[in-house]
Amino acid sequence: MVPETSLTTDSGLGMLDYAVIVLYMLSTFGIAVWFGRKQETTDDFFIGSRRMPWFAVGLSILATLFSTLSYLGSPGEMIKHGIGLFIGYLAIPFSMTVVFFLWIPFFMRLRVTSAYEYLERRFNYGVRLLGAFLFILLRLGWMSMVVYAASMALDRVKGDDFTVLPGNDIYWWIVAVGIGAAIYTSVGGIQAMIWTDVLQCLLLLTGVLMVIFYVMFVDQTGPLDWWATAAKHAPDHVSPPLISFDLTVRVTIVWMIVNNFFWTVCTHGSDQVVLQRYFSTSSQKAARRSYLINVAVDLLMAALLATAGLALLAFYLRHSELMPAGWTATGQADKLFPHFLGHQLPVGCAGLIIAAFICDAMQTLESGVNSITAVATNDIVPRLRQGRPRIVSELTFARLTTIVVTVIVTANACLVAEMASRLKEGTLISLMPRFFNLFVGPLSALFFIGMFMPRSTARSAVPGALTGLSVAIVWCWYQEIFDAPKGPTVFLAIAVPWLTSVGTALILSLLVEKGGPHAGQGYTWFAIVKGPERTD
């Protein structure tokens, strides 16, 4: 029997915490200025002239994909719904095979800046625009969600006695993060982004270790004790069903594995944010090493976040008096982690992790804005300008575009904050499909159709992607559209639209395509990877 421990809670961040936040912000801005002064071309700004070290790129990919959403949402998912999310990592051997042997060789042979250049070569410019449009919607929603999550954490950590300005503080945090990101993004480019991603990755790792060791020390308990507490509190937390064909059952082992597989192969096979980092490496070998680093640290972080979720659940079930009045451990699952950071850790520690949250939000904006700007300047603007003389240089235009997009994201993050308070299922993991993951499946399907369906042209690929997008919208917003008490599981929100897109395109390719040779057949996977290296 573990003896009871008397604990106290403070009111939030102290002056030392704020000093640490300011120091960290100045350090990251210094990194941006340092690399920004060396930039002369858009290649420097977008892909680091393909000279970035593979280990830094691998950590950068992790820091980008494992953003504040995952950092806060994963422990919250463990607290509220159990271990199901983490069982999905059993898909890694399968997804790793696809990324390592199919995606990386293909995209590294293309030698492009924007991944959507491929869609024009394979289909036509209209498909390229569709891919770019889906990507922009995906990343605008993603960035808005990350800024919202970071601002929610800041609002929770700062303490209830501290008010910044009149009104709801979360909106002021969103604006502050947006302004900081606009300045930082326009200066640094991808080199600064990757190196600050490395620093941020190390800080986030430190933060989750602080939570685990704090609970171990103060309660003299460990992971086995926390597991037993979770099993006693809610048996399905530690033993989800193997599979259910009732699609309103949120968590099953099989669907979690399917979700993880499709999320990984879809993002690594179509998302400019990820692919742009691979493009910044010097070779296929370096890109593969980057991916292996990403997988290894991703597994480590997932295991630690799952453990931290168990620790927080056990801690607040044992010390319910340390939560604000009216809170329950599972009812405020997403808010427990930031509340713990601001009210239980020693002064200074919380500031360090919150600085990482702020910079993660800013880095997320930079990653997304940098990639959106790369897509805009390569996929959209040249055709709109159509030979007319430039008013500013391409590099200046890229920097100005980053500022404009950041302002749009900041405004959209305020809208996400408002909508999140009104939705029936408001956890971060459940919000992600609604606001951005619904675009992942149709976007990835366009690339898959291009790579592996040589008969297909734009006549079958575009209707396939649009059909999948329609299914995605209904799937993710089912509760709101039909005013239903439950909707289909969020963990099939990528797989089902992807399968719909590919299946529709396959049927149409047999019904409406002529089947004869066409120019796009030179850009299938086998033609690119097995054929002579192209220079176009």
Q: Is the pLDDT of residue 287 over 60?
A: yes
Angle at 66 between CA 63 and CA 67, to 5 degrees: 80
pLDDT given for residue 388 in this prediction: 67
On average, the pLDDT of the chain sits at 81
Where is pLDDT greater, at 181 or 58?
A: 181
Contact between residue 130 and residue 375 where contact means Cβ atoms under 8 Å apart: no
Contact between residue 370 and residue 376 where contact means Cβ atoms under 8 Å apart: no
Question: Which CATH number describes the domain made up of 42-374+390-423?
Answer: 1.20.1730.10
CA 45, CA 62: separation in Å to the nearest integer? 20
Note the pLDDT tens digit of each residue in 374-390: 777 777 777 666 666 66
Q: Over range 346-368, report the average pLDDT.
A: 72
Q: Is the pLDDT of residue 527 over 80?
A: yes
How many helices and strands in the chain, by DSSP H and E? 24, 0
Which has the minimum average pLDDT: 2-6, 212-216, 260-264, 474-478? 2-6
Best-predicted range by mean pLDDT (77-81, 147-151, 162-166, 334-338): 77-81
Structure tokens at 61: 């990919």
- Closest C-alpha among 387, 388, 394 to residue 113: 394
Residue with tokens 């070569």: 121
> Above pLDDT 90, what percent of the chain?
30
Contact between residue 433 and residue 477 where contact means Cβ atoms under 8 Å apart: no
pLDDT given for residue 354 in this prediction: 75
CA 380, CA 11: separation in Å to the nearest integer? 50
User: Residue 333 is which amino acid?
Assistant: A
In which band, very low, low, confident or very high, does the pLDDT at 127 lie, cut at 50, 70 and 90? very high
- Closest C-alpha among 182, 132, 204 to residue 366: 182
Q: Over range 353-376, report the average pLDDT.
A: 72
pLDDT given for residue 66 in this prediction: 62
Give one word for 321, left, alpha or beta, with left for phi > 0 and alpha for psi -120 to 50: alpha
CA 57, CA 61: separation in Å to the nearest integer? 6
Domain range annotation of the chain: 42-374+390-423
pLDDT given for residue 92 in this prediction: 93
What is residue 388's DSSP assignment?
P
Q: Over range 323-328, report the average pLDDT.
A: 85
CA 419, CA 144: separation in Å to the nearest integer? 12
User: Residue 36 is which amino acid?
Assistant: G
- Closest C-alpha among 168, 213, 163, 158 to residue 357: 158
- Closest C-alpha among 372, 358, 447, 443 to residue 409: 372
Angle at 274 between CA 272 and CA 278, to 5 degrees: 100
Note the pLDDT tens digit of each residue in 405-450: 878 888 888 888 888 777 756 678 888 899 999 999 999 999 999 9
Contacts of 446 (CB under 8 A, 6+ apart): 119, 127, 130, 131, 134, 270, 461, 465, 501
Q: Is the pLDDT of residue 25 over 90?
A: no
The widest CA-to-CA distance across the chain, in whole angstroms, is 78
CA 79, CA 336: separation in Å to the nearest integer? 9
